[in-house]
Amino acid sequence: MHQPVEGETRTFERTFTVEDVRRFGELSGDDQARHTEPDEDGRVMVQGLLTATMPTKMGSDSEVLASTMEIDFRRPVYTGDPITCRSTYKTVVERDDHYEFVSDVVCENGDGETVLTTETEGIIRKNA
């Protein structure tokens, strides 16, 4: 368990593939044409909830038990475009057996445009 620190920022980057989108579509049932038919550049649009797995992965790395996540999808994400997410702890309160926190995540595409933001509230247990 990594002790969260107010103001601390962590980063995660991922580039989604057409295969990622296909597999998520099979699992979720979200297989609209925009996720299966390539555009003129050979890209497909990544499902919003697949993009939202990036903040989820970052929370998993820190053993987060989220109680709320408010996600704002700002612009589409396409396969082949690197997405970088930065998560910053806004507040951290230490309790006897856990930390309560609020964090903000901002995800940007390779052009520096914000594609997704989320505010997450939750806890991190001290002896997870």
Q: Classify 107 in phi/psi space as left (phi over 0), alpha (psi -120 to 50) or beta.
A: beta
When pLDDT is averaged across residues 80-85 and rounded to a whole number, the result is 98
pLDDT tops 70 at residue 80: yes
Q: Is residue 32 part of a domain?
A: no
Q: Is residue 119 part of a domain?
A: yes
pLDDT tops 70 at residue 128: no
CATH code for the domain in which residue 56 is found: 3.10.129.10
pLDDT tops 90 at residue 25: yes
Q: Is residue 40 part of a domain?
A: no
Q: How far is residue 96's CA from residue 12's CA, in Å, rounded to a whole number?
A: 30
When pLDDT is averaged across residues 74-96 and rounded to a whole number, the result is 97
Q: Is residue 26 part of a domain?
A: no
Domain of 90 in residue numbering reads as 9-15+47-125
Q: Is residue 92 part of a domain?
A: yes
pLDDT tops 80 at residue 108: yes
Q: Is residue 115 part of a domain?
A: yes
The total number of structural domains that make up the chain: 1
Q: Is residue 37 part of a domain?
A: no
pLDDT tops 80 at residue 1: no
Q: Is residue 72 part of a domain?
A: yes
How far is Cα of residue 113 from the mean position of the Cα atoms in its chain?
A: 15
Q: How far is residue 60's CA from residue 30's CA, in Å, rounded to a whole number?
A: 24
Q: Would you state the pLDDT for residue 15?
A: 98
Q: Do 71 and 118 form a contact (C-beta atoms < 8 A)?
A: yes
